[in-house]
Amino acid sequence: MPELPEVEVVRRGLDTHIVGSTFDTVEVLHPRAVRGNDVDLTEILPGLSVTGTGRRGKFMWLELSDGAAVMVHLRMSGQMIVGEPGLVDSPHLRIRALMHGVGSAPFELDFIDQRTFGSWQYTQLIDGIPAAIPHIAPDPFETDFDPVATARAIRKKNVAIKTVLLDQSVVSGIGSIYADEAMWAAWIKPTRKGRALRQRDAVRLLEESRAVMARALQAGGTSFDSLYVNVNGASGYFSRSLNAYGQADEPCARCGTPIARTVVNGRSSYFCPVCQVL
């Protein structure tokens, strides 16, 4: 599933290419792509303009000229592609929107989703955040993110720290890839319980989470297959820089010990059994 860096790469692409543009027509090609809506996107979006973009964790949205937003969740395989009309020819095309900018030729915004887990949802904004995601905690890139308070919340959890990092009600945007990378950078093993961490270690873990995701952003995100691409269809290349995730049996970049794999709450976790001692 795309995590914060991958979603942010897509959001930035949309911010560059479609802000200021207007929906002309919207065609829904699969009903699951618009599940959860109380309105018909094919009727409400035409005539509305995109005034901005936003993101919290793994959710992003298009701010609309009527004050509402279209919240986009990519989930496992969602892609947002901007291009010339008719450019996308995919059996997994779920939503096709024809748009135009001021004085520009029409273009398409296409939502491709092979596994049909993703969606577009028309929603109101409350304090700039979609009303549909009140349970999602701030992510480490938000200006009002409080690492000290979040570290305290982590230390109240009597479960493995890997599980806590994936809990989007504690801190959002971190998935399995960047959780493993952050724990490796902070020398913390994934089975350590949240309440067993010192405050300074929990804060450092959050700082390392932000740092590794910032590096991933610079690399365009992490792509292991063709399911994650940016709005131009290009893949990210942060997978070349991974120290822990998916590196089972490869030598640790710090000490040379083979990276180990374990399962935490049903999720694979990769760590160095020598370095990650906290």
Question: 86 in a domain, yes or no?
Answer: yes
Q: Are residues 157 and 94 in the same domain?
A: no
Q: Are residues 95 and 17 in the same domain?
A: yes
Q: Are residues 197 and 79 in the same domain?
A: no
Q: What is the pLDDT of residue 1?
A: 66
Q: Which of 82, 104, 130 is the last residue of a domain?
A: 130
Question: 196 in a domain, yes or no?
Answer: yes
Question: 277 in a domain, yes or no?
Answer: no
Q: What is the pLDDT of residue 226?
A: 58
Residue 157 annotated as binding?
yes
Q: Which of 64, 99, 130 is the last residue of a domain?
A: 130
Nearest to 174 by CA among 146, 220, 139, 145: 139
Residue-wise DSSP of 66-104:
TS-EEEEE-TTTEEEEEESTT----TTEEEEEEEE-TTS
Question: 278 in a domain, yes or no?
Answer: no
Q: CA distances (Å), 47 to each of 38, 55, 151, 187, 226, in order?
A: 19, 23, 45, 52, 33
Q: Are residues 110 and 172 in the same domain?
A: no
Question: 135 in a domain, yes or no?
Answer: no
Q: Which of 130, 155, 170 is the last residue of a domain?
A: 130
Which three-class secondary structure state does DSSP give residue 62? strand
Q: Give CA–CA dist 50/36, Å, rounded.
A: 21
Question: 213 in a domain, yes or no?
Answer: yes
Question: 161 in a domain, yes or no?
Answer: yes
State in Å, rounded, how far the first CA of the chain is from the last one.
28
Q: Give CA–CA dist 44/101, Å, rounded.
A: 18
pLDDT by residue for the chain (278 residues), tens only, comes to: 689 999 999 999 999 999 999 999 999 999 999 999 999 999 999 999 999 999 999 999 999 999 999 999 999 889 999 999 998 999 999 999 999 998 778 999 999 999 999 999 999 999 999 999 989 999 999 999 999 999 999 999 999 999 999 999 999 999 999 999 999 999 999 999 999 999 999 999 999 999 999 999 888 887 655 556 678 777 776 777 899 999 999 999 999 999 999 999 999 999 999 999 98
pTM of the model: 0.92
**CATH number of the domain bearing residue 153:** 1.10.8.50
Residue 115 annotated as binding?
yes
Q: Are residues 163 and 125 in the same domain?
A: no
Q: What is the pLDDT of residue 134?
A: 86
Q: Give CA–CA dist 221/213, Å, rounded.
A: 8
Question: 77 in a domain, yes or no?
Answer: yes
Total structural domains in the chain?
Answer: 2
Q: Which domain holds residue 102?
A: 4-130
Catalytic residues: 2-3, 58, 267
Q: What is the pLDDT of residue 188?
A: 98
**CATH number of the domain bearing residue 96:** 3.20.190.10
